[in-house]
Amino acid sequence: MVHVDLSGAQKFFTAAGPDYKLAALAHETLASGTGLGADFIGWRSLPQHIKETELDRIVAAAEKIRARSTALVVIGIGGSYLGARGAIELLKPVPGKGDPRVFFVGNTLSADALWDTLDQLGDQDFDVNVISKSGTTLEPAASFRIFRELLARKYGDKADEHIFATTDAKRGALKSLANDRGWESFVVPDDVGGRFSVLSAVGLLPMAVAGIDVRLVIDSAIAELKALDLRSPENPAWQYAAARQHLYGKGYGIEILGCYEPSFRFMGEWWKQLYGESEGKDGKGIFPASVEFTADLHSMGQFIQAGPRTLMETIVRFSRSRREFPFPNDEQNADGLNYLVGKDMADINRIASDAVREAHVAGGVPNLVVEVPKRDEEGFAALVCFFEVACAISGYMSGVNPFDQPGVEAYKKNMFRMLGKPGAV
Ligand code: PA5
C-alpha cells in the first residue's frame, strides 16, 4: 500500500485539521453505491472482474502480437490512452529485447504528428489496438481510418487479423465494425468511465504487449483495493483526500503533482485527467498540474517558491531506485564534485528532493508525499488504486459527481458544426 506523509502540510492546517468524518461519509457513499454517478463505480471491482473474464485472452493476444510484430499502434485519447502510456513509460521507458515498440496515435488531429509516427513505423510489421468506449470520438476514429488503409495495403486480406478493438460490449460504430469485420474485441465495461479504465483491456493489452507483467498488476490491484477499503484515518486515501480538500478550503486551489523520476511524466498526465475531469465542475475543483523534478526546478521553481501562495504540492516517491549508480571519483576533481563521491545518484536525487521540500514548505507551499516501494508492477498498481479511490472520496467530499464529465461536450458540438458533420448544429 502507498504511504502518505502529511508532515509537510501540517503547519498549513487549522487546529481541527483534515475532516476525516467527512472522508468517512464520502467513503461510505462510494462503497454503498448511493452517491452521484454510482452507475460508474465498476472500477472498484475491475481487477477482480477482469481476472475472471478477459485477462487470459488479453495475455494471449499480447503474445500473438509480440511474436509477429515489432510495433503496436495504439489508437485512443483521454481515458482510452493516458493510463496505458503512463504505465509503459513508467515501467518500460526503454523497450527490452524482443519488446515491440508501442506508438500512441489518435490523441491529436495534427497531420505532422501522424507523419512523424508513419515515418518511425516505416515498413515494420505492426498490429493496431483501437480503443474507444463510445466508438465515435473524432481523433481516434480519424486515425483509425488511416491505419486501416495502411494495414490493408500491407497485409491485404489478412489485414483484419492485425486489428484488436477495445470498445463498448454492445453499442457504437466501432463495435459494429468489429462485429462485421471479425476483429478480436475487448470490452470497456459499461460501469467504468474512461479515466478509471486503465486496469481493463484499455490499459492492459498495450501494457502486456510492451512486456509488462499484467497478471502481477492485476493481483496487486486486487490486494490494494481491498486494503484501501479500510475505514479509518489510517487509510492513505482518506489522508490524501482530506488533506487536499482541507487545503482547498484554505485557498490552495492548485495542486502540482511532481516526481523525481522522469519516467513518471505520463502518469502525471493520467493523474491530471483523473482529478481534473472528476473534480472540476459546478464552479469547484482543485486545478491539477504536473511537474518533473529536478528539471522543472530550473523553469517552474521560481514560481513555486515565490509566486502566488495558492499552490499545494504532492510528490510521488519511489523508496528504492531500480539500479545503483555510484557517483564516480575523479582524482583531479577539476569540477569540484568529489564531495559527492561515496554517494549513489539515487541518494543524491533523494537528498535533492528533501532539500526542495524544506524550501517549498518554508516558502508557503504545503507538501504532501505519496510513497511506494519501487517503480515496478506492484508500485504502479498501488498508485493507480490509491489515486482512484482518493479521487472518488475527494470528489464526494467536495459535493460533486466525480464520475461524469458534461463539460467536455461543449467544444465537440462547435467542432462538429464547423466541420460540417451531418446533423450537427
Ligand atoms: O474520461 C473520459 O470519458 C474521456 O477522456 C474519454 O476517455 C475520451 O474522450 C475518449 O472517449 P472514447 O473512449 O469514447 O473514445
Residue pLDDT, tens place only, 379-394: 999 999 999 999 999 9
* Cα 78 to middle of ligand 1, angstroms: 5
DSSP secondary structure string for all residues of 402-423:
TT--GGGHHHHHHHHHHHT-TT
CA 101 to chain centre: 19
Atom number in ligand 1 closest to CA 134: 14
Helices (H), 251-402: 265-279, 301-306, 345-362, 377-398
- Report the DSSP beta bridge partners of residue 4: 370
Helix and strand element counts for the chain (H, E): 15, 10
**For residue 407, what pLDDT is reported?**
86
Around Cβ 15, how many Cβ atoms within 10 Å?
4
Q: Are 228 and 4 in contact (CB under 8 A)?
A: no
Closest residue (by CA) to atom 8 of ligand 1? 78
CB 167 near ligand 1, within 6 Å: no
Known catalytic residue: 409?
no
Q: Are 214 and 207 in contact (CB under 8 A)?
A: yes
CB 278 near ligand 1, within 6 Å: no
- pTM (two decimals): 0.96
Strands of the sheet containing 311-318, edge to edge, are: 3-5, 367-372, 311-318, 254-259, 287-292
* Cα 287 to middle of ligand 1, angstroms: 20
The residue type of 360 is: H
Atom number in ligand 1 closest to CA 76: 15
Backbone angles phi, psi at 332, to 5 degrees: -70, -35
Q: Which position among 277, 292, 378, 388 bears the catalytic label? A: 277
CB 290 near ligand 1, within 6 Å: no
Percent over 70 (pLDDT), the chain: 100
* Cα 198 to middle of ligand 1, angstroms: 12
Atom number in ligand 1 closest to CA 131: 13
CB 137 near ligand 1, within 6 Å: yes
- Report the DSSP beta bridge partners of residue 368: 314
Residue with cell 502507498: 2
- Report the DSSP beta bridge partners of residue 163: 128
Q: Are 311 and 363 in contact (CB under 8 A)?
A: no
**For residue 366, what pLDDT is reported?**
98
**In terms of DSSP bridges, do strands 3-5 and 367-372 run parallel, antiparallel, or are they unpaired?**
antiparallel
Q: pLDDT 10s per residue in the chain (425 long)?
A: 899 999 999 999 999 999 999 999 999 999 999 999 999 999 999 999 999 999 999 999 999 999 999 999 999 999 999 999 999 999 999 999 999 999 999 999 999 999 999 999 999 999 999 999 988 899 999 999 999 999 999 999 999 999 999 999 999 999 999 999 999 999 999 999 999 999 999 999 999 999 999 999 999 999 999 999 999 999 999 999 999 999 999 999 999 999 999 999 999 999 999 999 999 999 999 999 999 999 999 999 999 999 999 999 999 999 999 999 999 999 999 999 999 999 999 999 999 999 999 999 999 999 999 999 999 999 999 999 999 999 999 999 999 999 999 888 888 888 889 989 888 88
| C-alpha–C-alpha distance, residues 362 and 269, integer Å | 28
Let me know the angle formed at the C-alpha of 395 by 86 and 235, rounded to the nearest 5 degrees: 75
Label residues 141-152 b or e (16+ Cβ within 10 Å = b).
bebbeebbebbe
Known catalytic residue: 412?
yes
| C-alpha–C-alpha distance, residues 195 and 173, integer Å | 21
| C-alpha–C-alpha distance, residues 127 and 397, integer Å | 43
| C-alpha–C-alpha distance, residues 352 and 356, integer Å | 6
Give the single-character DSSP code of 137.
-
Instruction: Give, for ligand 1, the residue of 133, 188, 269 to mutate: max count of ligand atoms closer than 8 Å to Cβ.
Output: 133
Three cell numbers at 244? 487536499
CB 77 near ligand 1, within 6 Å: yes
* Cα 81 to middle of ligand 1, angstroms: 9
Q: Are 299 and 240 in contact (CB under 8 A)?
A: no
